[in-house]
Amino acid sequence: MKTKILNKATIKEGAALINAGQLVAFPTETVYGLGADATNEAAVKQVYAAKGRPSDNPLIVHVADIETVQKYAQPLDDASLKLMNTFWPGPLTLIFKLKPNALSKSVTGGLDTAAFRFPANQATLDLIITAGVPLVGPSANTSGKPSPTTAKHVLHDLDGKIAAVVDDGPTKVGVESTVLDMSVTVPTILRPGGIAKEQLETILGTKVNDEHHHVGVTEVPKAPGMKYKHYAPNAQVYIVNDDNDWTAVRDWVAAQTKPVGIMTTDDIKNQLDWPANAELISLGNDVISASHLLFKELREFDNRNDVDTIIVKGFEPTGLGAAYMNRLNKSAGQTYVGELLK
């Protein structure tokens, strides 16, 4: 199969492919998604095959209006409507109890709930509206790899396996949406993301729980996706949580013969006298730019065979930092730079 590259002006072609049961990758404000008609079970099954995704990991249903959610979900409470009216379109995925048999098992992974998201990207909203059906959309990467933030990343993983990709340039946020479970008594974050816990609590006027702890292999996770190895490049990633460690990192790098990947902020990059084998990548100045660049730069290093160590700056795990640190911890398998320096 030859994967077509579409854009805003050729959305009709993408919608026709969706209606024909084909896979079309689409842009969002977070990362690129792998789209298929959520009401076509055969098409949804192909999504799992293309990604190499375990079949018990349910998919997000992408919509272009709140009415479509109401069609599938049990009646929505005031808190849910308030969240939708405040944060949609935007990087917040909400989990609701479904009406009986409203969506196929391949979408829900057999759960009695489903995840819904109204993405903030006009090309994709046009795709959903023109196709006339909601789209399932996991991140459009090979399972286990960093999520794609450009159409080029999508093609790197899925060229020849999907009918088309809609190219709308690099995504803004760079990490995926916040997944919030609204099917339980206390709203619970299953995956931190583009909307911070603090923002949700402000709008709801109540406490929000966190459940994005590390899930053991034998434990049944609330968000099935959380138990799998994720965002992992081939190189080993080490996290630097204390800025005072960077001088020791520089000295360690200077003692190596091979190139070492360094992803850090401009000040650390510019202030230290780095040796020539330090492959320095700027994450900008703050956690917003760092989140935007994290997956992209991990992928850049992944395309090189000569770098087997990547050292990355950590941030405070609050606000967007909770999402950044969640993804970085998974890429690193919870490995800290102290391991290298001891």
Alpha-carbon span 130 to 117, nearest angstrom: 17
Could you tell which of ligand TXA, Mg ion, none binds residue 237, using a CB distance below 5 to 8 A set by kind?
none
How many positions of this chain bind ligand TXA (CB under 6 A)? Answer: 31
Nearest to 320 by CA among 164, 133, 174, 163: 174
* Between 269 and 327, CB nearer to ligand TXA: 327
Q: Least Å distance between CB 53 and Mg ion?
A: 8
Alpha-carbon span 249 to 262, nearest angstrom: 9
Check if the beta carbon of residue 183 is closer than 8 Å to that of residue 80.
no
The binder of ligand TXA chosen from 47, 115, 240, 293 (CB under 6 A) = 115
Beta bridge partners of 93: 117, 179
| Contacts (Cβ under 8 Å, ≥6 apart) of 34 | 23, 25, 47, 50, 51, 137, 138, 139, 140, 154, 158, 162
58 belongs to the binding site for ligand TXA (CB under 6 A)? yes
Tell me the one-letter amino acid at 117. Answer: R
How many positions of this chain bind Mg ion (CB under 5 A)? Answer: 1
* Between 106 and 139, CB nearer to Mg ion: 139
Could you tell which of Mg ion, ligand TXA, none binds residue 177, using a CB distance below 5 to 8 A set by kind?
ligand TXA
* Between 48 and 274, CB nearer to Mg ion: 48
The binder of ligand TXA chosen from 60, 158, 294, 311 (CB under 6 A) = 60
162 belongs to the binding site for ligand TXA (CB under 6 A)? no
Strand pairing category for 113-117 and 92-97 = antiparallel
CA angle 7, 9, 11 (to 5 degrees): 70
114 belongs to the binding site for ligand TXA (CB under 6 A)? yes
E strand or H helix that includes residue 67: helix 66-72
Tell me the one-letter amino acid at 209. Answer: N
Could you tell which of ligand TXA, Mg ion, none binds residue 327, using a CB distance below 5 to 8 A set by kind?
none
Of residues 23-42, those binding ligand TXA (CB under 6 A) = 28, 30-31, 33
Task: Select from 68-76, 108-116, 253-261, 273-281 the region that touches ligand TXA (CB under 6 A).
Answer: 108-116
Task: Select from 6-14, 135-143, 237-245, 315-323 the region that touches ligand TXA (CB under 6 A).
Answer: 135-143
253 belongs to the binding site for ligand TXA (CB under 6 A)? no
| Contacts (Cβ under 8 Å, ≥6 apart) of 9 | none
183 belongs to the binding site for Mg ion (CB under 5 A)? no
177 belongs to the binding site for Mg ion (CB under 5 A)? no
Please spell the DSSP secondary structure of 168-219, one letter per residue. Answer: --S-SS-SPPEEEE-SSSS-EEEE--SS-HHHHHHHHSS--EE--SPPPTTS
The binder of ligand TXA chosen from 73, 95, 125, 189 (CB under 6 A) = 95
For Mg ion, what does the binding mask look like between residues 115 and 154, x meaning CB under 5 A? Answer: ------------------------x---------------
137 belongs to the binding site for ligand TXA (CB under 6 A)? yes
Residue 11, CB-side half-sphere exposure with 13 Å CA sphere: 17
Beta bridge partners of 115: 60, 95
Residues at the site binding ligand TXA, with contacts judged by CB under 6 A: 28, 30-31, 33, 57-60, 91, 93, 95, 108, 111, 113-115, 117, 119, 137-139, 176-177, 179, 190-191, 222-226
